Amino acid sequence: MTPLDQPTVALTGEVRMPLLGFGTWQLTGQDAYDAVRAALDVGYRHIDTATMYGNEAEVGRAVRDSGIDRSELFITTKLPPDRVGQERATIEQSLAELGTDDVDLWLIHWPPAAHESLLTWREMLAARSANLTRAVGVSNYSTGQIDELIQATGEAPAVNQIRWSPALYDPQRLAENSERGIALEGYSPFKSSDLTDPVLVRIAEAYGVTPAQVVLRWHLEHEIVVIPKSVTPERIASNFDIFGFSLTPEEVAEIDALGG
């Protein structure tokens, strides 16, 4: 599968975000560099990092060493809660570490204190206006917290990145984000998944894939962005190999019911 063939979701303007990305939480040093290089070699073109992860320099070096043109990549980073009031300096430091003129998506990593949330959101919008990021969004926000931003600025986050898996399936939350034009992005897809669940095992066997691949494919069927992470080259490759099969609506519904 070429990068142009990978499914994407439309964000603001002409920005399109690949539905499958590579997560880098808890990856540091040489492990982070090696894992991102392996992911890029396999075909991932969406890399998720954060200031809090302490690996932006390694991610940037892996991107440069891959030889892949920056225009073919989607890079996300995030503003940590302890950098409220230092938004511009933080994004500029992130860009320097990553070795790029802009990122494709910048997220507020965790909601700051209520009285700071709107100020931070305005700074995110200002960074977008300054072409330091192509899109801005949030992470770990409730619908109510998102509505406060929208009501104050008329601008909805492009993305809300939250913990997500079949066991955490919440159709109401998914609908609330969709109604506001917000793409839902799930992290830690396997952490709360029982990969020995009979439903996942049966569906996986039917397609000759693994239960983990079924979980990732389920995200794509819902048009939910998903960012699995691994340091194992074989697992990195397996997590990317989810484009050769698709789930039926009935199978999707069965997996949805695991969150019941």
53 catalytic? Reply is yes
Please name which of 75, 70, 147 lies closest in space to residue 114, comparing C-alpha atoms: 147
Containing 136, the helix (H) or strand (E) segment is strand 136-139
Report which DSSP code applies to 7.
-
Containing 41, the helix (H) or strand (E) segment is helix 29-42
Containing 47, the helix (H) or strand (E) segment is strand 46-48
- Return left, alpha or beta for 207; rule: phi > 0 is left, psi -120 to 50 is alpha, else beta: alpha
Angle of helix 114-129 relative to helix 87-98, nearest 10 degrees, comes to 50
**Interval 72-101: pLDDT, tens:** 999 999 999 899 999 999 999 999 999 999
Q: Which pTM was predicted?
A: 0.96
What pLDDT score does 142 carry?
97
**Interval 58-72: pLDDT, tens:** 999 999 999 999 999
Residues 6+ apart with CB under 8 A from 39: 22, 47, 236, 240
From the list 44, 53, 141, 187, the catalytic residue is 53
Indicate if the pLDDT at residue 221 is higher than 70: yes
Indicate if the pLDDT at residue 2 is higher than 50: no
Report which DSSP code applies to 168.
G
Band the pLDDT of 35: cuts 50, 70, 90.
very high
Mean pLDDT of 217-234: 97
Is residue 11 within 8 A of residue 135, CB to CB? The reply is: yes
Mean pLDDT of 137-142: 98
Containing 186, the helix (H) or strand (E) segment is strand 183-187
Please name which of 199, 205, 156, 164 lies closest in space to residue 180, comparing C-alpha atoms: 156
What pLDDT score does 88 carry?
98
Band the pLDDT of 14: cuts 50, 70, 90.
confident
Mean pLDDT of 165-173: 97
Indicate if the pLDDT at residue 48 is higher than 60: yes
